Amino acid sequence: MLYPKKLSPEFSGALRTFSFWVANGTLGYPLLEGVDYRSCLGEEPSMLEMVYAIFANVLELDEEGVPVNAKYAEYRAAQYIRQYCDADYTAVPAFEEWEQELYGPPEREDRKPWPPGAPKA
C-alpha cells in the first residue's frame, strides 16, 4: 500500500515554532504582551485545543506543502487567546465557524505498520 508523502520541513518548522511560542508564553507578541495565558492552559485545556485547531484550520500550504500564511494563522490563534483571557477584547474579524472546527481524532490503530522491533505504547 502506498502512503501519502510526509509534511514538508517548512510545515514542520512552522508547527514546531508555533508550539514553542505557545509553551514559552511568547505567542502573539505584541498582541498577547502582558497576558498570562499559560495559567489558563492548566485549568482549561480546551483553550489549547481550540488554539491549535485555529492554527491548523487557518494555515494554508502551497503545492509543495510550504506554509504561505503561517504568521496570519499564528495571529488568529493569538486573537483567540486574547479574546478568551480578556473580556474587553474582541477579535476582528470575528471568528468564522470553519476556523474553530474541531475535527475528530485519528484512528486508534495506525493503518501503516510500525517498523519492526518498535515497541507499541
- Give the Cα separation of 79 and 100 in Å (integer): 12
Band of pLDDT at residue 41, cut at 50, 70 and 90: confident
Read off the pLDDT of residues 96-116 as tens digits, 9 standing for 90 and up.
999 999 999 999 999 888 999
- Give the Cα separation of 84 and 35 in Å (integer): 11
- Closest listed residue to residue 28, CA positions, set 71, 67, 68, 60: 71
Instruction: Report the pLDDT averaged over residues 11-34.
Output: 96
Its pTM stands at 0.92
- Give the Cα separation of 93 and 76 in Å (integer): 9
- Closest listed residue to residue 121, CA positions, set 109, 111, 106: 109
- Closest listed residue to residue 80, CA positions, set 42, 48, 36: 48
Instruction: Report the pLDDT averaged over residues 37-44.
Output: 89
The domain ranges of the chain are 9-100
